[in-house]
Every structure is written in structure tokens, then in C-alpha cells.
């Protein structure tokens, strides 16, 4: 049975079409991987499913009910929980209190006492029982990610929207988190997982949907999607490089190098994480390198791609380049190399 149906959803920010007529369905109890290059519209689609944005066109149906345009708290009450791309726990509150909040405002409308019990169970199932009384601000990145997941799961969701939960984790933490996702699925929770770590998303997903420029460009099993030239081209950007990549995949000969020419790297059509795409689709566990862009004063945000974020190898993120959104061209430039929060964005990604 289809638990969530996204039907022709379009979201605009002024002249920019962030999601462009996207349609797909998610089967109950499945894990759906939602992938696409930076700025493809993945987070915006989550924001639309859970009611942060009202779509300009289209319909979202959850368990047979039209939830288009409902407010986030109304969507949460119906059983849709969200783990955000940028985790922002209530730093001064204990981990237990953070997760209790999720249980209080979730599907079951629990009393504080019952919510606390659920929160304790969630903390312990995510290996955070020892940290229950610690202020959330004291946790490290991996623990904050688990806390975010615990808070979402404490809402007892039927559908979990997990946005880049694996970003910033080391290979061992990624493996542990994938185990967690499998357990979540065993409990019957449906998951939509946005992820850039291809080996991870291909490993746990039953099906994969690929967005590019807000449009769905592919959908299928992980194997189908990995071999789809449109998907490879969306990541690599150049049909010739994509063809070489495909040949290499078939022969397993030495890997083609990502584009290096400065002129190509600086053109709008190629200004994105192509090297990451190439390596990501190679699905090599343990090959992750990070690009830590400075995104806000005093704050670093890691962009955990499967490879570096610059066509010239390790280098600073182009996302720090100040350009205003408004056209597809500037969209490419602002959101290219890593998924940093946008300047002027009012909502939480």
C-alpha cells in the first residue's frame, strides 16, 4: 500500500523553481532514498511534505488523506516526523528533555510522564542512555545526529523524513546508523532518506528517486538508478565523462578523473560537486573526505560527500561565494559545492 503520494508538486521561491512537478509514491514499510546534486530541491520537498511550505501546485496524500497545505504540527500529529539536515537541538536542555519534546508533540499526544518514558526508551535504543541528563549542547556531531533521530522517533511516526542524517559521520558511525535505519524499518516505520553517501543510500533503500533542478529524473531500484545515464550525467554533468564512467564501471579499469579544466569548472553547467558524484556513484565505503565550508561566523559545517568537493581536489566550498538566489544560474552557484544554508533563507533546511 502507498503510504505517501507526492503528485505533481511544484514549489517556487520567486523566480526559482525549487521543486518542479515532482511525483512519486512510497510503499508502507519501505525505505525510499531521495538523492540528487546540491540544490536539487530535496530538502524543499521535505519542507513541503511536512507543511513548512505550501506547494504552488500539486497534491500530497498521506495514508489516503490530502495533507497539502497542512501546518507542520498537523502533519506531525498524523504520523510524519522529520530529522533535519542541520541539527539544532535545544542546547541548554538535557538530552532527555529534547527527546521528550518530540514524544509530547508526536502522533500519540502523550502526557509528560508517558512522553518521558518513551524518550528514555529512544535514548537507550540509540545508545544515548548515558547522556540523558547531559545538556544537548555538549554532545558531539555524531551524538547530536542520533539525538535528532531519537527526537523524531519519539514522535512514534509512521513516516520518517531523514535529511542527511549520515552527513558528518565517520565510516564506523555511518555503519552503525545504517543498522539503526534497518531496525527502524523492521519496526514498520516507512523512511524517506535524503543522502549524499551513495554506498549508504544504495545499501538500505528499497527504491530510489533522483531529483535534479527540482525535477524527478529517475526512479527505480538502487541498481537501476546507479546505472541510469541521466543520473550519472546529473552528477558528472558531461555526457562524455558519464560515458567514460559507465565504461569504467563495466570494465573496472582505472577510474576516470573528474573535469579539471578551469573553464569548465567555472561554467554554470558544471559548477557542482562533480568529483563527488563520480566517486559517490562508485559506492566505495570508507572513501569519504570532507569539505568543511565556513558557513556562518564561527561555525563550520561539514559536507560529507564520498569525495572532495572541488574538481581540483580538496578545496574550499564555492557555496561561500556570495550570489543571490533568483535564477537557475545563481541557484547553481549558490548551492553548488556543498549543502550550506542559504543566505537569507528564513526556514530551517
Ligand X SMILES: Nc1ncnc2c1ncn2[C@@H]1O[C@H](COP(=O)(O)OP(=O)(O)OP(=O)(O)O)[C@@H](O)[C@H]1O
Candidates 150-158, 219-227, 246-254, 328-336: pick the segment binding ligand X (CB under 6 A): 328-336
Number of residues in contact with ligand X, rule: CB under 6 A? 22
Binds 207: which of Mg ion, ligand X, none (CB < 5-8 Å by kind): none
Residue of the chain from 40, 60, 87, 291 that contacts ligand X (CB under 6 A): 40
Residue of the chain from 48, 190, 205, 339 that contacts ligand X (CB under 6 A): 339
Query: Min. distance of Cβ 293 from ligand X in angstroms?
Result: 11
Residue of the chain from 43, 203, 295, 335 that contacts Mg ion (CB under 5 A): 43
Using CB under 5 A as the binding rule, whether residue 47 contacts Mg ion is answered as: no
Using CB under 6 A as the binding rule, whether residue 335 contacts ligand X is answered as: yes
Residue of the chain from 79, 222, 259, 325 that contacts ligand X (CB under 6 A): 325
Binds 39: which of ligand X, Mg ion, none (CB < 5-8 Å by kind): ligand X
131: DSSP letter? G
Provide the total of helices (H) and of strands (E) in the chain, helices listed first: 13, 12
Sketch the per residue contact string, 77 through 116, with ligand X: x for CB under 6 A, - otherwise.
--------x-------------------------------
342: DSSP letter? P
Contact 208/202 with Cβ under 8 angstroms? yes
Contact 168/137 with Cβ under 8 angstroms? no
Q: Scanning residues 82 to 111, which ones bind Mg ion (CB under 5 A)?
A: 85
Q: Which residue in the shown chain puts its C-beta closest to ligand X?
A: 339
C-alpha to C-alpha distance for 12 and 50, rounded to whole angstroms: 16
Query: Min. distance of Cβ 35 from ligand X in angstroms?
Result: 9
C-alpha to C-alpha distance for 213 and 170, rounded to whole angstroms: 29
Q: How many CB atoms lie within 10 A of CB 96?
A: 21
Between 275 and 335, CB nearer to ligand X: 335
- Cβ-proximal residues to 212 (8 Å cutoff; 6+ apart), any chain: 36, 37, 40, 234
Candidates 35-43, 95-103, 175-183, 294-302: pick the segment binding ligand X (CB under 6 A): 35-43
Residue with the three cell numbers 545526529:
145
Using CB under 6 A as the binding rule, whether residue 43 contacts ligand X is answered as: yes
Nearest to 84 by CA among 142, 143, 148: 148
Q: 100-111: b or e for each residue (b if 16 or more CB lie within 10 Å)? A: bbbbbbbbeebe
Query: Min. distance of Cβ 166 from ligand X in angstroms?
Result: 13
Query: Min. distance of Cβ 79 from ligand X in angstroms?
Result: 23
Partner residues linked to 145 by β-bridges: none
C-alpha to C-alpha distance for 40 and 124, rounded to whole angstroms: 35
Using CB under 6 A as the binding rule, whether residue 172 contacts ligand X is answered as: no
Between 16 and 129, CB nearer to ligand X: 16
Query: Min. distance of Cβ 10 from ligand X in angstroms?
Result: 12
Contact 9/214 with Cβ under 8 angstroms? no
Contact 23/8 with Cβ under 8 angstroms? yes
C-alpha to C-alpha distance for 73 and 54, rounded to whole angstroms: 14
Binding site for ligand X (CB under 6 A): 13, 16, 18, 36, 38-44, 85, 325, 331, 334-335, 339, 342, 345-347, 349
Amino acid at each position: 500500500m502507498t503510504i505517501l503520494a507526492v503528485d505533481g508538486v511544484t514549489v517556487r521561491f520567486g523566480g526559482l523553481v525549487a521543486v518542479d512537478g515532482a511525483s512519486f509514491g512510497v510503499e508502507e514499510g519501505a525505505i525510499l532514498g531521495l538523492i540528487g546534486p546540491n540544490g536539487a530541491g530535496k530538502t524543499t520537498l521535505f519542507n513541503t511534505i511536512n507543511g513548512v511550505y505550501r506547494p504552488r501546485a500539486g497534491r500530497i496524500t498521506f495514508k489516503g488523506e490530502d495533507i497539502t497545505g497542512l501546518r507542520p504540527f498537523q502533519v506531525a500529529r498524523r504520523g510524519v516526523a522529520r530529522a533535519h539536515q542541520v541539527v539544532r537541538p535545544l542546547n541548554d536542555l538535557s538530552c532527555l528533555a529534547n527527546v521528550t519534546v518530540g514524544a509530547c508533540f508526536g502522533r500519540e499526544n502523550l502526557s509528560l510522564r508517558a512522553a518521558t518514558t518513551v524518550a528514555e526508551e529512544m535514548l537507550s535504543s540509540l545508545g544515548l542512555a548515558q547522556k540523558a541528563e547531559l545538556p544537548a549542547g555538549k554532545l558531539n556531531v555524531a551524538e547530536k545526529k542520533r539525538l535528532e533521530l531519537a527526537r523524531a522517533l519519539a514522535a512514534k511516526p509512521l513516516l520518517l523524513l531523514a535529511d542527511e542524517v549520515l552527513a558528518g559521520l565517520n565510516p564506523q558511525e555511518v555503519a552503525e546508523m545504517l543498522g539503526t535505519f534497518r531496525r527502524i524499518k523492521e519496526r514498520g516505520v516507512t523512511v524517506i532518506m535524503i543522502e549524499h553517501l551513495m554506498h549508504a543510500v544504495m545499501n538500505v533503500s528499497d527504491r530510489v528517486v533522483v531529483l535534479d533542478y527540482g525535477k524527478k529524473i529517475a526512479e527505480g531500484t538502487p541498481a537501476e538508478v546507479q546505472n541510469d545515464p541521466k543520473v550519472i550525467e546529473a552528477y558528472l554533468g558531461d555526457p562524455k565523462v558519464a560515458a567514460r564512467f559507465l565504461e569504467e564501471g563495466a570494465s573496472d579499469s582505472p577510474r576516470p578523473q573528474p573535469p579539471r579544466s578551469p573553464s569548465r569548472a567555472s561554467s554554470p553547467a558544471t559548477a557542482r560537486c562533480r568529483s563527488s558524484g563520480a566517486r559517490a556513484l562508485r559506492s566505495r565505503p570508507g572513501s569519504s573526505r570532507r569539505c568543511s565550508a565556513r558557513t556562518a561566523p564561527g561555525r563550520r559545517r561539514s559536507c560529507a560527500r564520498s569525495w572532495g568537493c572541488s574538481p581540483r581536489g580538496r578545496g574550499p566550498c564555492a557555496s561561500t561565494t556570495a550570489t543571490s538566489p533568483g535564477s537557475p544560474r545563481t541557484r547553481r552557484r549558490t548551492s553548488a559545492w556543498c549543502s550550506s544554508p542559504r543566505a537569507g533563507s528564513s526556514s530551517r533546511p
